[in-house]
Amino acid sequence: MNLTLKVWRQQNAQAQGGFETYQVKDISSEMSFLEMFDVLNEQLINEGKEPITFDHDCREGICGACSMHINGQPHGPWHQTTTCQLHMRAYKDGDTIVVEPWRAKAFPVIKDLMVDRRAFDRIIQAGGYISVDTGNAQDANNLPVDKHKADESFAAAACIGCGACVAACKNSSAMLFLSAKVSHLALLPQGDVERKTRVVNMVEQMDKEGFGSCTNTQACEAECPKGISVQNIRRLNAEYIRSVFSGGE
Amino acid sequence: MPLNSKIPAGEMAQKWINYKNTCKLVNPANKRSIEVIVIGTGLAGASAAASLGEMGYKVKAFCFQDSARRAHSIAAQGGINAAKNYQNDGDSTFRLFYDTIKGGDYRAREANVYRLAEVSANIIDQCVAQGVPFAREYGGLLSNRSFGGTQVQRTFYAAGQTGQQLLIGAYQALERQIALGNVTMYDRHEMLDIVKIDDKARGIIARDLVSGKLERHFGHAVLLCSGGYGNVFYLSTNAMGSNVTAAWKAHKKGAYFGNPCFTQIHPTCIPVSGDHQSKLTLMSESLRNDGRIWVPKKQNDTRKATDIPEEERDYYLERRYPAFGNLVPRDVASRAAKERCDAGYGVGSSRQAVYLDYAAAIERYGRIECNKQGNHNPQIDLVIKLGKEVVKEKYGNLFDMYEKITGENPYETPMRIYPAVHYTMGGIWVDYELMTTVPGLYALGEANFSDHGANRLGASALMQGLADGYFVIPYTIGNYLADEIRTKAIPTDHPEFVKAEKEVADRIARLMSIKGTESVESLHKRLGKIMWDKCGMARNAQGLREAISEIRALREEFWKNVRIPGSADGMNTELDKANRVADFMELGELMCMDALEREESCGGHFREESQTEDGEAKRNDEAFMYVAAWESKGNNQWEMHKEPLNYEIMHPTQRSYK
Ligand SMILES: Cc1cc2nc3c(=O)[nH]c(=O)nc-3n(C[C@H](O)[C@H](O)[C@H](O)COP(=O)(O)OP(=O)(O)OC[C@H]3O[C@@H](n4cnc5c(N)ncnc54)[C@H](O)[C@@H]3O)c2cc1C
Ligand code: SF4
Ligand code: FES
């Protein structure tokens, strides 16, 4: 198939960006979306132009690096699918596809489609862990964990930190990402000790990073490639209230 | 220089205990002034950096991704081994040791492997304490699955996302140390050289990939946790960015490279679909637990899989290896698939694929569920429905991934799979302390050569990465650093830093000035094809000799004709790739030389000249029971040193899985 691509180009964080239009030919429906970009980049290099910069690594939907806003949707049209797992079967000959970077104050553009998502790391630094040094663990089976709780915790821990939830949200809120981490740890007995301080500190950091507030439009859940549920946001709110009203410590 | 593996004296089971009891320690006050550089934040790097930070060392950690959490370890699927014997099926430290040595076809060092088996149980404890949500049974205890090459169930897992969950655990521990100020994180940084002062590793040169600036960093010791080099084949299951550069720079600065030709070709990957292919996707080995592998009994059978009746299917692994069946080790399963396809029994449009079939497993699980519900005479529709639910819980994310890539529904029709490059057992040579031949320079995880011999068993890489980072290096590094407490931080205007930075800058300038006509990607693809055709699943002397001269020619072409658009002042992903591919072009030659020199078959290294009558790999212990440790002599010249392997406990025999 032949396609028209309108792609955001921006030389660096300071530069003004803008859309450029490209044509690609003979795209096979078996290609992934990023392989289609490989074809375009190869074409640009052959023409002596700079290829388009974008983040990607695993190309298996698990590292969370890829981050393209495709025709108005983070990660494009397929439900619960990252950009790298989106395949060209989704398109037909003659389509025009508009590709932009994540748009959020807390995720400044580095170049073209690549953004800086380190704000997520700093949110984790604020409390997204269990404080246990190496060598301090008891036998793993001394602590049975209810299977349903463990499964729920796993479902929240499946977040890949891609930032699509932020990109999808009209307020650029990071609530889904944050709540996934709070849930992962709050659902496990190991996470209980630091439960109160964790949520307060992480929320504080999120606010500092310039993410917007959550107005419950649930666009995040709809666009999350890992199916992280807004149920987690409810849990986060409950955790937060519990911790604030019991006086933090 | 003679190789000293520094294996402690004494009984096998006492070596590590004795070592820990007698190695030197660094007191807390001194640790605060000792700096350690960690290259990589995969399982090996993140666990090492976090643990060393907790201990009080000043750590600097580097990765080329935008976040430590995205290291390639994140993609590991199936699970992690540990000798917990929770299933009461006869597992023990000894059995895990035994399986690993045998699985590696008797080309690994006994003492290292024994220690690995010994600390394996602690890994699971540590990860659970960190909140890693492993799969559990209804009673709340941990669940296990089986993996290839073993007869016990010792693999711990989190659906098909075990690597992700383990890495998130290590990443969180690392982020905690960053918050505490014990670790400084340098993401989007690429290490481009090692700095040696008075023969010791004392720092690195790194490029900030965003600004394009070169940086000098001092460390009393440097840890390479930079992963494997499977991408030398261009197509592999590795992440796109995985590369050999860090290890290769270390090699060129004096670290010997161990068994470079030992590559693992994984039997169950989604087959290549066309020239556009950028990487190959693994379908976890855990799928061989329940799936059955087959091809049609008739050559060039073009019927749909579901139209081929049971009696016309050849379950060739079950036929050839009745004792292990579909769970033979990877090297054996891969070669068997290649044999069937080469003989004309392959399936799919390319004929380079075999089936991995879940129909029988779905029915079996469905019946178990019906029985649980007290329904002993269920309708087949119900059986299938319940069976699919069980399979979905165990392997759902893998099945979804298969469907997204191929457009076929694996719950309804068998998956098509074919072997693909997956893992490199070879790597930087290290001694028992994980130190390379350069004092103060260590290699951990997939970057080193140490534990898997000529073939790695499934679920053992995660175990090794975390063993190295959490439980080995915290002891062994102290033994070295205890003598370094008087070494003050060396200012980075030291001539060796200046010289190393200049070399890196010159090479970048040279790459940028070529302004040729062929893209990095295209040259990389050509290298990959040479490697796959001549140094892949089957190798022979003639092919390897051809490969060596083809690689030399290609390398020359690369340095004359590569085209890198843009400039070096700022983010330039083509330059990043070119830096990596230039190193692959040298490594490829060394791999072929090593493969040529090793005139035996062992594990994943199959020399066509050395096989048994029924086509199995034939070792030659008399001549090749050693680790080949290659020393770089500059200008793509190498000298090979041998570390003989002495088996105290194991009695090497022809490996049999029949
Ligand atoms: C698809 C897949 C599935 C797998 N499944 C399993 C499994 O189920 N069980 C199992 O045991 N094993 C599995 N493996 C193997 C296992 O995942 C890897 O061997 C292991 O994760 C490697 O970990 P590592 O820490 O050594 O390196 P990696 O995780 O590869 O990390 C390398 C790190 O080094 C950094 N780095 C590299 N070079 C540089 C440089 N020059 N400068 C700065 N930073 C650098 C990278 O940024 C990264 O942080 C699987 C592998 C693949 C490909
Ligand atoms: S919650 Fe979903 S969309 Fe947000 S970072 Fe995690 S995986 Fe991505
Ligand atoms: S590239 Fe890793 S999730 Fe898309």
Residue range A75-114, pLDDT digits in tens: 999 999 999 999 999 999 999 999 999 999 999 999 999 9
Q: What is the pLDDT of residues B307-360, one digit of tens each?
A: 999 999 999 999 999 999 999 989 999 999 999 999 999 999 889 999 999 999
Per-residue pLDDT at B284: 86
Average pLDDT, chain B: 96
Cβ distance of B240 and A185 shorter than 8 Å: no
Give pLDDT tens digits for B134-151: 999 999 999 998 887 788
Helices and strands (H, E) in chain B, number of each type = 19, 21
For chain B, how far is it from start to end, CA to CA, in angstroms? Answer: 43
Distance B617 CA to ligand 2 centre (A): 46
The answer on pLDDT for A248 being more than 50 is no
| Residue of B51, B65, B67 for testing the chain A interface, max A β-carbons within 10 Å | B67
User: What average pLDDT does the segment A214-227 reach?
Assistant: 97
Say how far apart CA A131 and CA B176 lie, in whole Å: 8
Residue B592 makes CB contacts below 8 A (sequence gap 6+) with B261, B531, B534, B535, B544, B547, B548, B551
Task: Quote the ligand 2 centre to A81 CA distance (angstroms).
Answer: 11
Tallying the residues shown for chain A, one arrives at 249
Q: Are residues A56 and A106 in the same domain?
A: yes
The DSSP output letter for A218 is -
Are A50 and B185 inside 8 Å of each other by CB? no
B106, pLDDT greater than 70: yes
Q: Check if the beta carbon of residue B558 is closer than 8 Å to that of residue B564.
A: no
CB B447 within 8 Å of CB B40: yes
Beta-bridge mates of residue B215: B206
Closest by Cβ to A134, choosing from B84, B126, B563: B126
Q: Cα(B615)–Cα(B331) distance, rounded to whole angstroms?
A: 13
Q: Tokens representing B423?
A: 């893992």
Q: What is the pLDDT of residues A152-195, one digit of tens each?
A: 999 999 999 999 999 999 999 999 999 999 999 999 999 999 99
Pairing of strands A3-9, A96-100: parallel
In angstroms, the separation between the Cα of residue B282 and the nearest Cα of chain A is: 9
- Write the DSSP symbol of residue B48: H
Q: Tens digits of per-residue pLDDT, B523-567? A: 999 999 999 999 999 999 999 999 999 999 999 999 999 999 999
- The verdict on the CB of residue A66 being under 6 Å from ligand 2 is no
> What are the extents of the domains in chain B?
267-421, 493-618
Out of B145, B330, B580, B655, the active site residue is B330
Which residues fall within 8 angstroms of residue B16, CB to CB, at 6 or more apart? Answer: B8, B114, B115, B118, B119
Residue among B250, B590, B628 nearest B439 (CA): B250
CA angle B28, B174, B478 (to 5 degrees): 35
What is the per-residue DSSP string for B338-362? HHHHHTT---STTS--EEEE-HHHH
Give the residues surrounding ligand 3 with Cβ less than 6 Å away. Answer: A 56-59, 61-66, 82-84
Using CA atoms, how far apart are residues B373 and B380, in angstroms rounded to an integer? 15
Contacts of A56 in chain B (CB under 8 A): 240
Residue in B75, B69, B183 with CA at minimum distance from that of residue A120: B69
pLDDT digits (tens, 9 = 90+) for A116-130: 999 999 999 999 999
Confidence of residue A149 (pLDDT cuts 50, 70, 90): very high
- How confident is the model over B183-207, as a mean pLDDT? 98
Q: Report the distance separating Cα A211 and Cα A209, nearest Å.
A: 6
Residue of A nearest to B132 (CA): A154
Report the alpha-carbon distance of residue A120 to residue A110 in Å, rounded. Answer: 16
Q: Which CATH number fits domain B267-421: 3.40.50.10490, 3.90.700.10, 3.40.718.10, 3.30.450.40?
A: 3.90.700.10
pLDDT of residue B527: 98
Strand-strand pairing, B354-357 and B292-296: antiparallel
**Per-residue model confidence (pLDDT) at position B147:** 83
**Mean pLDDT of all residues in A51-56:** 98
Q: Which of B31, B51, B66 has the most A C-beta neighbours within 10 Å, making it the best mutation to test the interface with A? A: B66
Q: Are B521 and A38 in contact (CB under 8 A)?
A: yes
For ligand 1, residues with CB inside 6 Å are B 39-45, 62-65, 71-73, 75-80, 162-163, 189-191, 225-228, 237-238, 242-243, 245-246, 282, 284, 422-423, 445-447, 459-462, 465
**Residue A164, both tokens:** 């699509």
Concatenate the DSSP letters of all residues of A159-216 into one string: -----HHHHH-TT-B-HHHHHHHHHHHHTSGGGSTTHHHHHHHHHHHHHHTT-B----
Please check whether residues A31 and A60 belong to one and the same domain. yes
Handedness of CA A55, A58, A59, A60 (dihedral sign): negative
Is there a single domain that holds both residue A54 and residue A158?
no
User: In what helix (H) or strand (E) does residue B38 lie, and over which residues does it extend?
Assistant: strand B35-39
Convert B286-304 into a string of H (helix), E (strand) and C (coil).
CHHHHCEEEEECCCCCCCC
Predicted TM-score of the model (pTM): 0.97
Centre a 10 Å sphere on the Cβ of residue B70 and count the other Cβ atoms it contains: 30
* Domain count across chain A: 2
User: Is B155 in contact with B81 (CB distance < 8 Å)?
Assistant: yes
Average pLDDT (B458-478) is 98
Beta carbons of B247 and B437 less than 8 angstroms apart: no
- Helix axes of B162-179 and B43-55: crossing angle, nearest 10 degrees: 30
Q: Does A166 share its domain with A82?
A: no
**Residue of chain B minimizing CA distance to A54:** B573
Q: What fold characterizes domain B493-618?
A: Methane Monooxygenase Hydroxylase; Chain G, domain 1 (1.20.58)
Of the listed ligands, the closest to the CA of B464 is 1
- Measured between beta carbons, the chain B residues lying within 8 angstroms of A44 are 565
| Nearest in space to B155 (alpha carbons), one of B451, B458, B397, B398 | B458
Closest CA to B280 of B229, B237, B330: B237
Cβ within 8 Å of residue B593, ≥6 positions away: B544, B548, B630, B638
Q: A223 alpha carbon to ligand 3 midpoint, in Å? A: 15
Statement to judge: residues A86 and A194 lie in one domain: no
Q: Taking a C-beta distance cutoff of 8 angstroms, is the pair B453, B603 a contact?
A: yes
Structure tokens, B570 = 């700022």
Nearest Cα residue to B190 out of B577, B632, B549, B638: B577
Residue A212 has pLDDT above 90, yes or no: yes
Q: What is the pLDDT of residue B1?
A: 65
Q: Can you tell me the distance from the alpha carbon of B227 to that of B446, in angstroms, rounded to the nearest whole number? A: 5
pLDDT confidence band for B393 (50 / 70 / 90):
confident
Q: With a cut of 0.90, is the ipTM above it? A: yes
**Interval B273-281 mean pLDDT:** 93
**A227 and A124 share a domain?**
yes
The predicted pLDDT at position A247 comes to 57
Whether residues B65 and A32 touch (CB distance < 8 A) is answered with no
Nearest-ligand number for the alpha carbon of A229? 2
Whichever domain contains A121, its CATH number is 1.10.1060.10
Tell me the residue range of the domain where A97 lies: 3-111
**B281 to chain A, minimum CA–CA distance in Å?**
7
* Rounded average pLDDT over B570-584: 98
Query: pLDDT band at residue B653, thresholds of 50, 70 and 90?
Result: confident
The sign of the dihedral angle between the CA atoms of A121, A123, A127, A130 is negative
Residue B656 has what pLDDT? 81
A224 lines ligand 2 (CB under 6 A): yes
B267-421 shares its CATH topology with B493-618 = no
Instruction: Looking at the structure, tell me whether residues A89 and A164 fall in a common domain.
Output: no
CA distance A58 to chain B (A): 4
Tens digits of residue pLDDT in B49-84: 999 999 999 999 999 999 999 999 999 998 999 999
Cα-based torsion angle of the residue sequence B476, B167, B213, B507 in order, rounded to the nearest 10 degrees: 70
Q: Judge: B274–A146 Cβ closer than 8 Å, yes or no.
A: no
Banded pLDDT at B413 (limits 50, 70, 90): very high
Same domain, A122 and A85: no
Which is it for strands B626-632 and B257-258: parallel, antiparallel or unpaired?
antiparallel
The answer on A145 and A101 residing in a single domain is no
Instruction: Residue A81: give its domain's CATH number.
Output: 3.10.20.30
Q: Please list every residue in chain A whose beta carbon sits closer than 8 Å to the beta carbon of residue B563.
A: 45, 48
- Domain identity same for A126 and A239: yes
Contact B322, B306 (CB under 8 A): no
Question: Which one, of B38, B93, B131, B181, lies nearest residue B473 by Cα?
Answer: B38
Q: Which atom of ligand 3 is nearest to the CA of A62?
A: 3
Both tokens assigned to B1 = 């220089």
Is residue B330 part of the annotated active site? The answer reads yes
Tens of pLDDT, residue by residue over B361-370, are 999 999 999 9
Measured in angstroms, the CA of A8 and the nearest CA of chain B are apart by 16
Question: Between B50, B133, B404, which is nearest A188 by CB?
Answer: B133
Q: Are residues A17 and A47 in the same domain?
A: yes
- CA dist., res. B275 & res. A66, Å (int): 22
